[in-house]
Amino acid sequence: MSQTPTTTDPQPTTSSKSKPPPPSVPFNKAPIVKIDSEALTSLVPRRHVVSVLAIDPSNVTGIVVIRCPLKPDSKPSIVTAADYLLAKIHPPSKRLLELNRQLTNLIEHHRIDLIIIEDIFYKGLVNTFRYLSQMRGAIMLTAAAHRLPIISINNRRAKKVVAEDGNATKLDMQLAIEGLSGIEGLTEAQSDALALFYTFMLVPEHFEKL
């Protein structure tokens, strides 16, 4: 039976107060999302539980916080998921400041240990490339300010791992993630973020440490 996660308010806020987390939602298909303890402890040593923040920076930035107990046969669970509608905030400096505030709230509230983001890609769209570069820079700066390890996952590799197609659309990825996790209700952006976590667990040798 599929489960629907409770999401946080998708609208960006300027409040410095973190919201209480919704009940965590366990993944239903444990064999597919087996926690790779070795991969996690190589980046976050001396932890019994690792909290991962996966981010898909885009016009709608999707985030998912995943709790990963490192005990044998433990299952990961989604603690919270949200969309941040940042593209309409101007000027860009204000947009990046808002992103920093949102991420800081998440990091402090959920005691994040590791951040995963999508690798930047270029398809000839200069404005999109500029926007993503700015967002990526803000995320990296926030991670560094909190002394957190941050890794990037290649977009096409995530598509191949999750949807078995390097050219998969956002809808393809959303459906694939729903099928793998058994969790309904994730948006396209949140599904893309969760796909980064899946990819790291399934092919942990393919990432770049930033």
In tens, the pLDDT along 117-164 reads 998 766 667 888 888 899 999 999 999 999 999 999 998 899 999 999
The DSSP output letter for 56 is E
Angstrom distance (rounded) from CA 158 to CA 139: 20
For residue 166, the SS3 value is coil
Query: Residue 59: pLDDT band by 50, 70, 90 thresholds?
Result: confident
- CB of 177 closer than 8 Å to CB of 136: no
What are 62-78's pLDDT values in tens digits? 999 999 998 887 888 89
- CB of 76 closer than 8 Å to CB of 65: no
Domain spans in the chain, listed from the N-terminal domain onward: 25-209
Query: Residue 27: pLDDT band by 50, 70, 90 thresholds?
Result: low
Name the pTM for this structure: 0.84
Angstrom distance (rounded) from CA 102 to CA 106: 6
pLDDT of 13 over the 90 cut: no
Q: How far is CA 82 from the centre of its chain?
A: 10
CATH class of 25-209: alpha beta
Cis peptide upstream of residue 91 (ω within 30 degrees of 0) = yes
